[in-house]
Amino acid sequence: MSKFQSQAKWRQNHPKQVWAQQCLRSAIKRGLIIQQTCKVCGDSATEAHHADYDRPMDVDWLCRKHHKAEHRRMKCEAVG
């Protein structure tokens, strides 16, 4: 399976997450939300982390390293 096929499958299986990402992307483009630095390390290259996909504008800005770490932490909490 190619990268694009797996991304398409993820989008199909996670409609709420896709909706939240699209809402946030639109708000950034319109200037309603401003991308911030990583809340952990201050890096300016950040990604939006949604703790609750029902609240698409409520995000934590994290660099890739800390974003991945947050998802690992959440996955461990869900299992334990």
Average pLDDT of the residues in 41-45: 98
**Mean pLDDT, rounded, for 17-33:** 97
| Statement: residue 79 has pLDDT above 90 | no
Helices (H), 1-80: 3-13, 15-29, 64-79
- Specify the DSSP element, H or E, that contains 47: strand 47-50
The overall longest dimension of the chain from CA atoms, in Å, is 40
Q: What local confidence, expressed as pLDDT, does residue 80 receive?
A: 65
pTM above 0.85, yes or no: no
